[in-house]
Structure 1
Amino acid sequence: MKLRTIYKRIIYFSSHQSQKLNSHQVIKLLFSLTLIICLLFGQVVTAQPSNTNVLVKQGIKDYNAGNFSNAIKNWREALNYYKNNPSARAVVNENLARAYQQVGENKDAIASLEKAMRDYGKVENIQQVGRMKSELAQVYSNLGQPRQAIALLCGQIVEKSKIPASQEIKCTPDSAEQIAIKYNDKRGQVAALGILGEAYRLIGSYDQAIKYLDAAQQVSPEYQFLVFNSLGNAYKSRGQLRELQADSAKKAGISSKEKELTQKFLDDYQRAYQYFKNSIKFARNEKQPLAEMRGLLNLLQLASQTNKSKFIPDEEFTKTLEDALKVVESLPNSATKVYGEIDLAYLQRDGKRTSPFTYCPTQLVLSGDNKALNLLENSVLISKQIQDNRLISYANGALGHFWECHQENEKALKYTQSAIIAADINLSAKDSLYLWEWQAGRILDKQDRKQEAMPAASEAIASYQRAFDILENIRQDILTAERDVQFDFRDVVKPLYRTLAQSRLDLLGVGAIVDERRVKELSKVVNTIDALKLAELQNYFGNDCILSGLNPKLVGELLKENSAAFQNTGFLSSIILDGKTGILLQLPNQATKFKWIEDPNQQGTTKIVSNEILEKKITEFRKGLVSKEEINYDTTIAAQLYDWIIRPFAEDIKLQKVKTLVFIQDGFLRSVPMAALYDSQQKKYLIETYAVATTPSLRLTKPNLGNGNTQKALIVGLTKKATIDGKTFDALSAVPDEVKTVGRIFPNHTRLMDDNFIPESFQKTLEKTTYSIVHIASHAQFGIIPEDTFIVTGKNQKLTINQLEASLRNLNNKSDSVELLALTACETAVGDDRATLGLAGIALQAGVKSAIASLWNVTDESTSEIIKTFYTNYRKNGMTIAQALQTAQIRMIQAKKLPSSEGINIKYDHPAYWAPIISIGNWL
C-alpha cells in the first residue's frame, strides 16, 4: 500500500493517558506511539469470507463515521454468527479493540485483542498474532504499564545497567518483534520496535529507547519517517534528564561534570529539534496535516521548555506557532484537533515541565484577542460531536481551568463538573479525574458563599478528598519508573496533598466542629500527611521498592495495634502548609493533638510563625552547629526552636511518661538535628530528657526490638583522599581509630579498608556471609537526585545507591536482613531538602531495619567516641537503638564534667560534635 493511501486511512486512537503526571500536556508525549500503529495497521477491516454478515459492514460504516458506540454494538452482535469461524471472529475482535480504544474502554480493548490473538493462533496466522501483540502493547503503554508492553514486544526488559554496546537486539522467539522478523513483516517490525522504543522512554531508559527507535528506522526506508517524532521525544527526554543532572552537579560544586552534562543536554536538544523539523518537512511534502500538526506541537513544546537557554529563537517560535494555528484550523474534527487546540491555548513561551492545570499560567502566548478561549470552546464542541468521554472530559476540564484562572467561578465550576461526569463514566479517564476533582475543590474554595461558609468548605474538602483518593489509587503506576526520572511531583502531588490537609485544619480552626468529629478530622489529616511523605520518598527513589515493606494499615490503627511496643513513645509530625507550619502529636491510646507553630510575646498572646521566618531560624541554627565557630555554644536559637516546636506539647508528653520522641519531618525541617533543641527552663538539651529518633513514616517502621547481642559485623572504611566526578573528598584521618574501636566491640567481624573497599569486594563479601551490622566509615553524599547519592570507596570509585541496595537486600531470606547500617561521614547537597530524603530513606531502600547516620560530615575523633559508646550501649540487653544513642550523646554533653581518665576532649560538649548523628527507621 502506498504511503499516501496509508495516510488517508489514518485512525487516531485516543491515547491521552497518564504515564507521567505531566502527560496532561497530551500530544507532545504520546503522538509518536499512536501514529506508528495507526499508519501501519490501525484501520478496521472486513471479516472473511465474502458473504460477510451485514452487521460487520454496518459496524465498519459506523466506525468510519465516528459513531463508535454503534460500531461496537454491531460487532458484538456479529460475533454470535462466527462462533465456529475463528478467522472471521479474530478480525471482528481486532476491530472491536480499536473501537473500544476510541471510547476509552481500554480493559475491553485488551480482552478483545487477547481473543483475536488466540483465534489468529488457531488458524496459524502467526504474523497477525505478532501484530496483535504490538497493538496490545500500545494499550498497555496507554494505561501506564510500559513494562507490560515491553514484555509483549520483546519478551524481556533490558535493564539500563545491561544495555548492550552494539545495536543488536535480542528478543524472545514468541515476541512481536521476532515474529515480524520471522515472517519478513516490515510493518510489524517497525511497529514493534517503535512502540518498544516509546515504552523504554516512558520508564526513563532513554539510551535504550533511542537504540530501538534507530533500529526501527533501519528496517525499511519506506517507514523511516514514522519514528522521527519518537526519536525527537526520546532525545528531548534524555536532554531534560541531563539538564537536571547538570543542575545537581552545579549545586554539588562539580564544575567539570556540570560543563560536560550541559554540552550533552544541548546536543540532545539539537537532535530532538532536527527530528521534529524532519517530521514536519515530510508531512508537508506528503500533504498530511495530521502528521504535520504533531511535529509542529512537538517543536513548540521543545522551544517552550528550552526557552531559558534561547535554544530556539523567538522568530522561529512565532513562525512555528503561526503554522500550527493554520494547520489546526484546517484539520477535520478529531481527537488530534481537540488536543492540539488545548495544547495551543495553554502554550507558554517559557513553559513549565508540568501540567498547566495545577496552576494559572500568567504568560500564555495566545492570551490576547480571545484566541485561547476560542480554541478551548471549539475543543469542547468537537469533543461532544465525537462522543468520546475521555475527550469530552479533557476539553471541559481545560475550559473550566481557563475560567478558574479568570475568577469566573460559576462558569469554571460548570465546565469542571462536566469534565468530572464524563471522566467518571465507566472510569474512562480516571487518570485525569483527580485533576478535575482537585480543580472543583479550588473553585469551591474561592466561591463567595458567605451565607453558607461551612457547607461550602465541606463541599470543597469533599472534592479534594476524592482527588486524593483517586491519586492514591493510581499513584503506584504514575510514580513508578527508573530512578533517574524526576516527575513534576512538587507541582502536582504535593500541592494537592497539602491543600487537603490545610483545608481540614482550617475547618477545625473555625471552632464549629464537635470534639468527636475533631478527632476524626485530625485522623484524616494524619493519613494525608503520611501519604504525602510516602509519595515524596517514592518519588525521590523513583520506584516502588521503597514501599515493599509498607504496612497497609493506617497510622491510627498502627498506634493501637502496637501500643505495647510504642509504650513511652511520642510521635511528632510536621506539615509545612501555605505560610505556616503545623505540628501533630500522637501518643498510643490518646487523641491526636495539633498546634500551629506560634511565637508567644510578652503580653501573653501568640502569633503564627511564618514559614519564611521558621526556615531562616533553622538555617541559622544549623549554620551555628556546622561551623563550630563558638567554643561556648549560644543556645538562644536552639531555645527558641524548642519553644516553638516542643513546649506546646510538653505537658502532654510528660503526662504520658514519654521516654523516646520519634520525629516524622517535612521539607526543610528534615535537616534539623532535633536532639540539639534547648529547654531554657530546665537548662537541658532535648536529648538529655528524651531519646530521639526519626522515621519517614510509621507505616514503613517495624517496631521490633533489635538484637543487641548480635556478634557479626562488616566494617568498611576509607582513609585516603578521593576524587569522584571531579569533586575531591578529603582524607578521613579519624577513620582508622573509629574502625579499630568498632572492631574491638565486635570481635567477629570482617574489615575492608581503602583499596580493598570497592563496590565489587563489598558485594562479594556480603554474598558470602550474613552480617547484622554494616558499619561504613567513609564519605556518603546525598544529592538532590539519586544519581548524586553514593558512598565513596577506594580507588576513586563510588558505591551507588543502586549497588548498595543490590548488595544489602536479601529477597530470598528476610530473616537475614541487616539489623543496623551505620554511615558516619555523610554530606548532603546544600539548598534542596530532597537531599535529606536520600538520608532518610536509604536504610529502607536497602531493606535495613535501622540506620545511624550523620546530617553532615564530622571528621573529628568525636565520631569515634560517640560510635564507641553507642555500640557498647546497644550491645547491652534491654537498651534500644534510640536509648543507646541518647546515652552516647549525653556523655559528649558532659565532656567537661567527666574525669580525665575518660580521655574525652572537653570541646565535644558542643552540639556540633554529637547532634548530627541521628537514628533512622526502627528505634527499638
Structure 2
Amino acid sequence: MKRLATKNSRRKKRLATSVVLFLAAWLFGVAVPPLLAANARSVIVEPSAAATPWLEQGRRHYESGRLSEAIDAWQQAATLSDRQGASLDAVLARSYLSLAYQDLGHWRQAEVLLDRAIEAIDPTRDDSRASAVYAQAFNILGNFQLNLGRAEAALSSWEQAGRWYARAGDELGRLGAEIDRAQALQVLGLYRRSQLLLDEANADLATLPDSAVKATGLLSLGNALYVLGDRHEARRVLEDSLAIARRLDETFDLSPILLALGNTERADNNFEAAADYYDRSATAATTVLGRIEAQVNSASLFAQQKTPDAALPRLSALYEALEDLPPSRRGVYARVNFTQSWLELSEQTPELPLDRTAIAQLLADAVLQARQLDDPRSEAYALGQLGRLYEESQQWTEARRLTERALSVAQTVDANDIAARWQWQLGRVLKQQGDYESAISVYSSAIESLQGLRRDLAAIAPEAQFSFRDSVEPVYRQLVDLLLTPNGLDAEIPQANLQKARETIEALQLAELDNFFREACLDARPVQIDAIDANAVVVYPIVLPDRLAVVLSIPGQPLRHYATPVLEEEIDRTLEDWVQYLNPIFPERLRLERAQTLYDWLIRPAESLLERRDTETLVFVLDGMLRNLPMAALHDGERYLIERYAVALAPSLRLLQGNENESSETSLALMGGLSESRRGYAALPGVKAEIQKISSLLAGEILLDREFTKARVRGQVRERPFSILHLATHGQFSSDAEETYLVTWDGEIKVKDLDRLLRSRETGTRVPIDLLVLSACQTAAGDKRAALGLAGFAVRSGARSTLATLWAVNDLSTPQLMEAFYEHLRRHPERSKAEALRQAQLTLIQTSQYNHPFYWSPFVLVGNWL
C-alpha cells in the first residue's frame, strides 16, 4: 500500500494553510481547491497486514473529507498495531489521527496522539521504513505547531522531518518539508528566507526525472508560491506540473493542476483563461466531487464578473449534483461556495431559476452533514452562510440567531479566520436592529480577529485589489461609520468613540499597506501628535456612503469631528473632476469651483479653530482617492491652502520615523537621475539642470545617466553616510507593488526591493536617510489608489521624509522648485521640511509663468514633516 500522502492523491490537510484557503474563498468567492495544501511524499510505507485495511480505509475517508469515519478507521489501526507490538504502524496511525483531529480543531486530542507517536520514535533505527514513518510523524508535528502559532518549533520539526526523509531516500518528501518550512518562515515575517527555500526546492525538483510524484511535487510548490504571492512563478511551476502529468503513461488526474492554473489566471484578472481552465478541470476530473469543485469555481468566476448569462446555466446544473453529494467536508464547502455565487447573482438578476427556499435547504443540509462528520469548522462555515442568506432577505432575527450560532461554533475550535467573517456579519445585523453599542463591540472584535490574521491576509494577496476593498476594508469603514454616528439628532460623538474612530482609520491605513506589499511587514506604534509637533494639526478625512467625515487631532485638545452630508458617488465625481481640471488646458473657473468645494468639505468647518491656535502645518492622513490629490491646491475663495499652512501627508502616524538627527548644512547627498531617453521613456533634459542646481547647495556624489545604475546606487549607499537621496528619474506609483518602480539606466528599482537597496549600510556608516526625494515620478493613470505606491516608497525606503510628485512634473519649473526647497533647508535648518516645501511652492506661485497648481501642487511631503 502507498502511504497516506503519496502519488497524486496526497491531500495532507493543514489548518495553517487552510486559514489562508478559507480567506481566499471568503475574499474571492473561490471554492477551496482540494489540493492547494498538498505536499508530495514518495516513499511507500508498508504497514502490518492487520493494520493495512484500516489505514487504507482511513486514507480514503480522509481524502473525501469524511473525517469522523477516517478517525474510526485509524483508531482501529492503532489498536491493532498496539496489540501486535507493531510500533511503526502505531506511530503511523496516531500521526494520521492527530492530523484529522487538527482538521477538526480538537487540539488536545491531536497533541496527546502526537506525544505518543513521537515518544515511540527510536532515533537509533536506520532502516528506510522506520525513517519514512518518523519523517511523517515530524511532518505532522510541524503542522500542529504551526497551527498553534509556534512557527519556530514548527521549523525545527520540519528540519527533522527533512533529515528523516533524506535517510529514507525520499527526495520528494525532503523537498515537501522544505516547502513547509518556507511557509513557517513567512509566518515569522522572514519572507526572503522563505523565497530562497522555495527557489531551492524548485531547482531541486527540476533535476528529478518525470514521475507522478514529481508532478504532484510541482503542484504543491506551485500552490505554495501562489499562496505566498509569487503568482508568475506559480504559473510557470504549475505549467511544468501539467506538462509532466501529460507525458506520463499511467492515468493521472489532471483536474487539480488545471484548477490551480485557473486560480492563478484569475489572480491576474485573466478571466477568459481562468474560465477555460475551470472547464477543462471539470472535464478531466476523475471524481464527481472534483468535477463539482471546478464547476463551482467557474460559476463563482462569472458571478464575480457580473455575467449572469454565463453563470446561471452553471448554477442550475450544479444544484442537483450538490443535492446528491454524500457527506464530506469538501462537499459542505462546495455547497457553501455555490450559495455564495447564487447570492452575488441575486443582487444582479431579479429572476433566478432557484428560489431562496431551495438555497436555504441546501445550506441546512450542509449544516446537518457537517454535524454528522463531527466537523465544527465546516459547520460554522455553513451556519454563517445560512445566516447571510437570512440577512440578504432582511429577516434580522433569524439572521442574528444563525450568525451567533456560527460564531459560537467557530470559537469553540479557535477558528479565528471564520470568526472574523461572522463577527462582521453579526455587526451588520445588529446595526440593522438598532443595537449600535453591541454592533460596535462586535465590529471591534472582527477587526481584532483580522489583525490577528494579518500575515495570512497579506499572504493571499496575489488576487485583485478589488477583493481587499470588497471584503476587508468595509469592516474598518463600517466601524468608523458606527462610531461617528450620533446617538440622537443633537447628540455629540463621545471622545471614546472619536478616539476609537481615529485608531480604526490608522489601522485601515496599515492594512491597506500590508495588502499593497503582500506582506505584513510594517512595525507600527501608537503616536500622539503632541509628541511630534505642537504646532501641527492632523486631519483624518474618511469617505462614508452618505457623508464625508473628518476627525481633527489637535495637540493638547480633545479630538474634533465634523461631517458634510454628501453621497459617496458625488464625492468621487468631484474628485475625478478636480484631477482633470488641474490640467492647465481647462478653464480656471472649473478648477477653482472643485477646489473650493473640497475646501468647504475638509477645512472650512475647522477654519476658525485653526486660526486661533496659530497652526503652522496641516498633516493629512488621507483616505481612498483623496490620496491622489494635492491638498496644497485647495482654495478658500481667496487663497490656496499652501498660502496659509505648510502641508504634509502621513500614511499613518504610527509609521512615522523619529527625528533624532535633523538635517544640517553638512548633510551628504547622493544625487542621481536620468536625463536621456531610456527603456521607452522620454528624455528628461531638465534633470541635468536640476542636479546641477542642487549640487551647488549640497555636498555629495552625483550619478547621472550611464552611472545611474542599481549597482552604483547600492554601492554608494553602502559605503557613504548619505542622509539625503535625490533621485530625478521616471517612475510610477501604482496600487500594484509590481507596477511601482523607479527607472535606472540598467533596469528598474521596484518598491519591494527598495529597503534592500537603501538599508544595506556597512557597519559604522549607519546614518539614517533623513530625506528621500523622488522627482519626475507619477501616479498610474486611471488608478484611483495609485498613491498607495507613493506611500509604499516612503515606508519601504526607511527614510524619515519623502518628497515625491503626484504626476509627471514640468521639466523647466521643477529645477526652480527644487533649488528653492534646498536653499530654504540650508538657510533655515531650524524650520521644518514641510515649511521648506511651502516656501518653494510659494516661489512658483509668485511667478507668472508657473503660478498654476499644475506646476507646484504635485510635490508632496510624506512622513515626518519636521
Indicate whether the TM-score tops 0.5: yes
Q: Which residue of 2 aligns with 1:898?
A: none
Total equivalences in the alignment: 822
Q: Given the superposition, is the C-alpha separation of residues 70 and 543 from structure 1 closer, same or farther in structure 2, using an over 3 Å criterion?
A: closer
Between 25-34 and 380-389, report the one with greater CA deviation: 25-34
Distance across 2 between alignment mates of 1:609 and 1:883:
33
RMSD over aligned CA atoms reads: 4.7
1:857 equivalent to 2:808? Answer yes
Between 380-389 and 752-761, report the one with greater CA deviation: 752-761
2:24 to 5, 22, 25: 22
Q: Given the superposition, is the C-alpha separation of residues 780 and 115 from structure 1 closer, same or farther in structure 2, using an over 3 Å criterion?
A: farther
For 1:467, give the aligned amino acid. A
Structure 1 position 439, deviation (Å): 1.1
Q: Which residue of 1 aligns with 2:862?
A: 920
Question: Within 5 Å, which residues of 2 pair with 1:469-484?
Answer: 469-480=448-459
Q: Given the superposition, is the C-alpha separation of residues 210 and 86 from structure 1 closer, same or farther in structure 2, using an over 3 Å criterion?
A: farther
The SS at the match of 1:678 is coil
Structure 1 position 404, deviation (Å): 0.9
Q: Which residue of 2 aligns with 1:569?
A: 536
Structure 1 position 300, deviation (Å): 4.0
Distance across 2 between alignment mates of 1:272 and 1:920:
44
| Cα distance per residue 1:168-203 (max 9 Å; x no partner) | 7327xxxxx99xx8xx99887666554333222211
Structure 1 position 477, deviation (Å): 2.1
Structure 1 position 872, deviation (Å): 1.7
Q: Given the superposition, is the C-alpha separation of residues 319 and 4 from structure 1 closer, same or farther in structure 2, using an over 3 Å criterion?
A: farther
Question: Within 5 Å, which residues of 2 pair with 1:675-694?
Answer: 675-680=632-637, 683-694=638-649
Q: Given the superposition, is the C-alpha separation of residues 484 and 789 from structure 1 closer, same or farther in structure 2, using an over 3 Å criterion?
A: farther
Q: Given the superposition, is the C-alpha separation of residues 137 and 241 from structure 1 closer, same or farther in structure 2, using an over 3 Å criterion?
A: farther
TM-score by length of 1: 0.77
Distance across 2 between alignment mates of 1:5 and 1:761:
49
2:599 to 642, 649, 669: 642
1:463 to 442, 456, 467: 442
Distance across 2 between alignment mates of 1:131 and 1:277:
33
Structure 1 position 646, deviation (Å): 1.4
1:403 to 385, 390, 396: 390
For 1:519, give the aligned amino acid. Q
Distance across 2 between alignment mates of 1:41 and 1:348:
44
| Cα distance per residue 1:223-269 (max 9 Å; x no partner) | 8635x2332233223322433xxxxxxxxxxxxxxxxxx7xx75565
Q: Given the superposition, is the C-alpha separation of residues 76 and 143 from structure 1 closer, same or farther in structure 2, using an over 3 Å criterion?
A: farther
Structure 1 position 319, deviation (Å): 7.0
Q: Which residue of 1 aligns with 2:738?
A: 787
Q: Which residue of 2 aligns with 1:240?
A: 266
Percentage identity across paired residues of the two chains? 27
Distance across 2 between alignment mates of 1:164 and 1:88:
32
Distance across 2 between alignment mates of 1:827 and 1:65:
54
Query: Are the counterparts in 2 of residues 853 and 919 from structure 1 also a CA contact under 8 Å?
Result: yes
Q: Which residue of 1 aligns with 2:227?
A: 202
The SS at the match of 1:751 is strand
Distance across 2 between alignment mates of 1:11 and 1:241:
23
Distance across 2 between alignment mates of 1:628 and 1:861:
18
1:342 equivalent to 2:336? Answer yes
Q: Which residue of 2 aligns with 1:588?
A: 555
For 1:580, give the aligned amino acid. R
| Cα distance per residue 1:578-622 (max 9 Å; x no partner) | 12111111012210000003xxxxxxxxxx233333343334444
Distance across 1 between alignment mates of 2:203 and 2:10:
29
1:612 equivalent to 2:637? Answer no
Query: Are the counterparts in 1 of residues 292 and 321 from structure 2 also a CA contact under 8 Å?
Result: yes
Distance across 1 between alignment mates of 2:42 and 2:339:
28
Structure 1 position 62, deviation (Å): 12
Q: Given the superposition, is the C-alpha separation of residues 480 and 12 from structure 1 closer, same or farther in structure 2, using an over 3 Å criterion?
A: closer
Distance across 1 between alignment mates of 2:599 and 2:66:
70
Distance across 1 between alignment mates of 2:768 and 2:811:
31
Distance across 1 between alignment mates of 2:643 and 2:545:
34
Structure 1 position 370, deviation (Å): 3.3
Question: Within 5 Å, which residues of 2 pair with 1:302-701?
Answer: 314=310, 321=315, 324-348=318-342, 367-368=354-355, 370-427=357-414, 429-447=415-433, 453=434, 456-480=435-459, 486=465, 488-508=467-487, 510-512=489-491, 518-545=494-521, 547-548=522-523, 550-551=524-525, 553=526, 558-559=527-528, 563-597=530-564, 608-627=565-584, 635-680=592-637, 683-701=638-656
| Cα distance per residue 1:129-160 (max 9 Å; x no partner) | 44446656777898999997988234875999
For 1:237, give the aligned amino acid. N
Structure 1 position 321, deviation (Å): 4.9
TM-score by length of 2: 0.82
For 1:28, give the aligned amino acid. A
Query: Are the counterparts in 1 of residues 595 and 634 from structure 2 also a CA contact under 8 Å?
Result: yes
1:277 equivalent to 2:290? Answer no
2:726 to 766, 775, 794: 775
Q: Which residue of 2 aligns with 1:257?
A: none
Distance across 2 between alignment mates of 1:107 and 1:215:
40
Q: Given the superposition, is the C-alpha separation of residues 233 and 661 from structure 1 closer, same or farther in structure 2, using an over 3 Å criterion?
A: same
Structure 1 position 37, deviation (Å): 7.9
Between 811-820 and 713-722, report the one with greater CA deviation: 811-820
Q: Which residue of 1 aligns with 2:94?
A: 93
Question: Within 5 Å, which residues of 2 pair with 1:181-260?
Answer: 192-210=217-235, 212-213=237-238, 218=244, 221=248, 225-226=252-253, 228-243=254-269
Q: Given the superposition, is the C-alpha separation of residues 422 and 812 from structure 1 closer, same or farther in structure 2, using an over 3 Å criterion?
A: farther
Distance across 1 between alignment mates of 2:36 and 2:550:
47
Query: Are the counterparts in 1 of residues 20 and 460 from structure 2 also a CA contact under 8 Å?
Result: no
Q: Given the superposition, is the C-alpha separation of residues 788 and 326 from structure 1 closer, same or farther in structure 2, using an over 3 Å criterion?
A: same
For 1:654, give the aligned amino acid. E
| Cα distance per residue 1:440-492 (max 9 Å; x no partner) | 12112223xxxxx5xx2212222222212211221232223577874710001
The SS at the match of 2:684 is coil
Query: Are the counterparts in 2 of residues 893 and 910 from structure 1 also a CA contact under 8 Å?
Result: yes
Distance across 1 between alignment mates of 2:594 and 2:362:
55
For 1:426, give the aligned amino acid. V
Structure 1 residues not aligned, in runs of 5+:
172-176, 244-261, 352-358, 448-452, 598-607, 896-905
Q: Which residue of 2 aligns with 1:721?
A: 677
Distance across 2 between alignment mates of 1:61 and 1:236:
26
The SS at the match of 2:385 is helix
Query: Are the counterparts in 2 of residues 824 and 854 from structure 1 also a CA contact under 8 Å?
Result: yes
